[in-house]
Every structure is written in structure tokens, then in C-alpha cells.
């Protein structure tokens, strides 16, 4: 691994920061403690400017280079929020807040970018400007869009933007990236069914919303299996089915909730349209009323070609060509960094988290062994992108 010795000396501090953040998880936009800690550190590092309150609780640090005049500015982004999951790792530094934990590694992302920020503020071995972006509410809150809506790119003159996420089962010391679609769009739906409740002994006097809901769940599977080109990728998953209160009453209502995932906009639109048509059609056939609420979420995460090449070349400098996958398969998970990639050219890369539990698993933990690789990537990316 090609890491400057002075950067390696920051690993112990980054580990301390990461574990402290892990012990104090915060959700969505309510990341006041984490954001306050980040802002305090950036000011202590000597950043030229530290701005708070973008996207409600986002933090931005500005670091000017020393290698001559340049107007070029790049953005490096990390996310800060945790998840509403009860941690079961039993680690010494596990979450101190019941029902909340860093189950996606945002504690590690924040620590890696903090370590890189400290190094870049000390060395300033680049031209132009590095803008470090610490974002709230990635986990379903659209914090990236909130920061964009507050003028992030225009205020700081960001021309290119880069993101990074840890990846379980990718070895420590490895990176993965691809051009084009790397993560899917994610939309959410709610299907409300109203029938006619009554005694379970007399189902013929009722219009059973549970039976209708079961038929809708089954029929929705035809969207992908019989409506989407097999070469394309799409997921329609019902993840919530709620109805009834006891065993001898047919309820009046039922509710389904779920997600649609796709890479192509046409496929995304088709799946949403068919979901509504099928649900209402089944409802009409069975004599129940069906209402569908489809909420568009994060767009697909699409890496730009030039910036992907730069990211891959940077990773190869650190870990060698054999440890950088440049055509990793696209994944059906989603990321609100996609909004930033719609606003500016950039790239999103995965860094190995080793043999860990999956993301969003109550036994997940960010692997501290990944810290020096992530910090080194950020530093060398900034120095390479702003070398001339």
C-alpha cells in the first residue's frame, strides 16, 4: 500500500473518531453531535473555511492548495447518519443508544474523510481547492439533495464530486468501481386496500382485504417476470403486509408497502405504472377499493467516464492493479450521492470492508483496517485531480 508515513500516523486518531461516532449514532438530519464534532475538527485542522447548516445539518470544509494558482475545485463527500436498528455486536464501543446504530459504515466514511482533511490541510500539496462535504440523512432522507438545494455546488464552486462507500465481502485493500450505472434508483409504494369487514365464520358477507392483498402481491411479480426485458434489471418487492387484529375477524382494511428498483428511467416508469394498474385491477375484480401511493426516491447512481478513470487510477496507485475491479457488477441498492452526480460529473467507488456482516445487519461493523486505504484514496485523489 502506497501511503505517506505521516498519513499512517493518523490511523490511530481516525480509529478513535470512528468508534466515538459509532457509540453515539444519530438518525437522518438529527446529527447535531456528529456534525458539531466534524466542524470542530475541521476548524482545528486549519481549514480555510468551515460552513455548517447546509442541508439543515451538513458541514463543509474548504482547503486551499499551495502549489500555484488554479481555479479548479473538487468535492469529496462522506455521510454521517446512522440507522434505526438495534445493534447486537456486543463490541466494547457498540451503540449507546437503543434502537440506533451505524449499520452502514457512515461512521467509517466520516472518519476517513476527516483523516484525509487533516492531512490535506497540513500538506496542501495541490493546486486549486478541495471541498470536503459531510452530509446528513443519506438513509432515506435525501440529505444530498437538501445540501444541493442550499446551493452547495454553486457556493463553493465545485466542478467535480467524488464519493466512497465500504463494501462487505470485498477484501480489505481492494476497491471496486464501474462506469455508468453502479447503484439503482429506489422508489417506494404504499397500497391501501379497503374491503368490508365482518365475522370470519361468514366470509361470503365480507369483502376480504387480506385475500385481495395476497392476490395483489402475487400479481405484482408479473411486472418483472413478464414485463421487463430479461437483459434489463428491475426489482419489485413487497416488504410490508399489515392487516387484522385477531383470528376470527375479517378486517376492513389492509396495507402493503414495498420498493421498486431499476437502473433505466423507462423501466422505472413502466414498473410504477404497472404496479398501480395491477393493484387497482385486482381490487376491482375482487370488489375492494385500492389506493396506490408511489413516491419517487433516489435516482440511479451513474458514474461519469472521465472521473471513473481518475478514481480507478488513484486506487491502483495505492493497492495495485490486481486489487482494483473496474467492471464490478451494478447493485440494486441505492444512494443519494446520485443527486450529486446529477449536479456535477464525478464517481462513486467501493472500498473493501473484508469479511464483515452485510450492510444494515445488526451485527455489522465498519472494519478499522479499511481506514488507511480510504484516507489514502481521498488524499491521492485530491492531489491527482488538482496536480496541474
What is the reported pLDDT for 2? 60
What is the reported pLDDT for 54? 98
Strand partners of residue 250:
198
Does residue 265 carry a pLDDT above 60? yes
The full set of domain ranges for the chain reads 5-183+300-385, 185-298
Q: What angle is formed at CA 336 by the lines to CA 121 and CA 239, rounded to 5 degrees?
A: 140
| Residues 6 or more apart whose Cβ sits within 8 Å of residue 240 | 255, 256, 257, 258
- Strands in the chain per DSSP E: 49-54, 58-64, 73-79, 129-135, 160-167, 175-176, 180-183, 185-194, 198-199, 234-243, 249-250, 253-262, 289-298, 301-303, 324-325, 346-352
What is the pTM (predicted TM-score) of this model? 0.93
What is the reported pLDDT for 262? 97
Coil/strand/helix, residue 299: coil
What is the phi/psi pair of residue 186, to 5°?
-135, 115
The answer to which of 69-73, 247-251, 262-266, 271-275 has the lowest mean pLDDT is 69-73
Coil/strand/helix, residue 351: strand
What is the reported pLDDT for 123? 94
Sorting pLDDT into bands at 50, 70 and 90, what band is 70? confident
Ramachandran area for residue 105 (φ above 0: left; ψ -120 to 50: alpha; else beta): left
What is the reported pLDDT for 69? 74
Do 80 and 4 meet the contact criterion of CB atoms below 8 Å apart?
Answer: no
Does residue 67 carry a pLDDT above 80? no
* Sign, Cα dihedral of 7, 121, 78, 309: negative
Mean pLDDT of 275-281: 98
Distances (CA, A) of 16 to 5, 21, 59, 97: 19, 9, 20, 18
- Strands in 195-233 per DSSP E: 198-199
pLDDT tens digits for 20-32?
999 999 999 999 9
Half-sphere CA count of 214, side-chain side, radius 13 A? 4
What is the reported pLDDT for 114? 98
pLDDT tens digits for 100-138?
999 999 999 999 999 999 999 999 999 999 999 999 999
Whole-angstrom distance, CA of residue 121 vs CA of residue 319: 24
Angle at which helix 11-23 crosses helix 106-123, to 10 degrees, equals 140
Does residue 1 carry a pLDDT above 60? no
Distances (CA, A) of 28 to 32, 62, 343: 10, 24, 22
Average pLDDT, the chain: 96
pLDDT tens digits for 188-211?
999 999 999 999 999 999 999 999
Whole-angstrom distance, CA of residue 337 vs CA of residue 139: 11
Specify the residue for cell string 457498540: 94
The answer to which of 9-13, 37-41, 265-269, 276-280 has the lowest mean pLDDT is 9-13
What amino acid positions are annotated as catalytic residues? Answer: 81, 138
Q: Helix (H) and strand (E) counts for the chain? A: 12, 16
CATH architecture of the domain covering 185-298 = 2-Layer Sandwich (3.30)
Return the DSSP state at 21: H
Whole-angstrom distance, CA of residue 172 vs CA of residue 195: 53
CATH class for domain 5-183+300-385? alpha beta
What is the reported pLDDT for 4? 64
Residue 182 in grid coordinates: 453502479
pLDDT tens digits for 323-359?
999 999 999 999 999 999 999 999 999 999 999 999 9
What is the reported pLDDT for 3? 60
Amino acid at each position: 500500500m502506497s501511503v505517506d508515513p505521516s498519513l499512517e500516523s493518523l490511523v490511530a486518531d481516525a480509529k478513535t473518531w470512528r468508534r466515538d461516532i459509532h457509540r453515539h449514532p444519530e438518525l437522518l438530519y438529527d446529527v447535531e453531535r456528529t456534525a458539531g464534532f466534524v466542524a470542530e475538527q475541521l476548524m482545528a485542522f486549519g481549514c480555510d473555511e468551515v460552513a455548517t447548516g447546509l442541508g439543515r445539518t451538513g458541514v463543509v470544509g474548504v482547503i486551499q492548495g499551495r502549489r500555484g494558482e488554479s481555479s479548479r475545485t473538487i468535492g469529496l463527500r462522506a455521510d454521517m447518519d446512522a440507522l434505526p436498528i438495534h445493534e447486537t455486536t456486543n463490541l466494547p464501543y457498540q451503540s449507546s443508544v437503543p434502537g440506533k446504530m451505524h449499520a452502514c459504515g457512515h461512521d467509517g466514511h466520516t472518519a476517513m474523510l476527516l483523516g484525509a482533511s487533516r492531512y490535506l490541510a497540513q500538506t496542501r500539496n495541490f493546486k486549486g481547492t478541495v471541498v470536503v462535504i459531510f452530509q446528513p440523512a443519506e438513509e432515506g432522507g435525501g440529505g444530498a439533495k437538501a445540501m444541493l438545494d442550499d446551493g452547495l455546488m454553486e457556493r463553493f464552486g465545485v466542478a467535480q464530486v467524488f464519493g466512497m462507500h465500504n463494501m462487505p465481502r470485498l477484501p480489505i485493500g481492494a476497491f471496486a468501481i464501474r462506469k455508468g450505472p453502479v447503484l439503482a434508483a429506489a422508489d417506494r409504494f404504499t397500497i391501501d386496500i379497503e374491503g368490508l369487514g365482518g365475522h370470519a365464520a361468514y366470509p361470503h358477507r365480507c369483502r376480504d382485504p387480506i385475500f385481495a392483498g395476497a392476490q395483489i402481491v402475487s400479481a405484482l411479480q408479473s411486472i418483472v417476470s413478464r414485463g421487463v426485458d430479461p437483459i434489463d434489471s428491475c426489482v419489485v418487492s413487497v416488504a410490508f403486509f399489515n392487516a387484522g387484529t385477531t383470528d376470527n375477524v375479517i378486517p376492513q382494511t389492509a396495507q402493503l408497502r414495498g420498493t421498486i428498483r431499476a437502473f433505466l428511467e423507462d423501466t422505472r416508469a413502466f414498473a410504477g405504472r404497472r404496479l398501480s394498474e395491477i393493484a387497482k385491477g385486482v381490487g376491482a375484480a375482487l370488489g375492494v377499493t385500492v389506493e396506490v401511493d408511489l413516491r419517487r426516491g433516489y435516482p440511479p447512481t451513474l458514474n461519469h467516464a472521465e472521473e471513473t478513470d481518475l478514481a480507478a487510477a488513484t486506487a491502483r496507485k495505492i493497492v495495485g492493479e490486481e486489487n482494483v475491479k473496474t467492471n464490478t457488477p451494478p447493485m440494486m441498492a441505492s444512494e443519494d450521492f446520485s443527486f450529486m452526480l446529477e449536479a456535477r460529473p464525478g464517481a462513486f467507488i467501493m472500498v473493501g470492508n473484508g469479511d464483515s456482516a452485510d450492510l444494515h445487519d445488526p451485527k455489522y461493523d465498519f472494519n478499522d483496517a479499511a481506514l488507511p486505504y480510504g484516507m489514502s484514496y481521498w488524499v491521492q485523489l485530491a492531489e491527482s485531480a488538482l496536480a496541474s
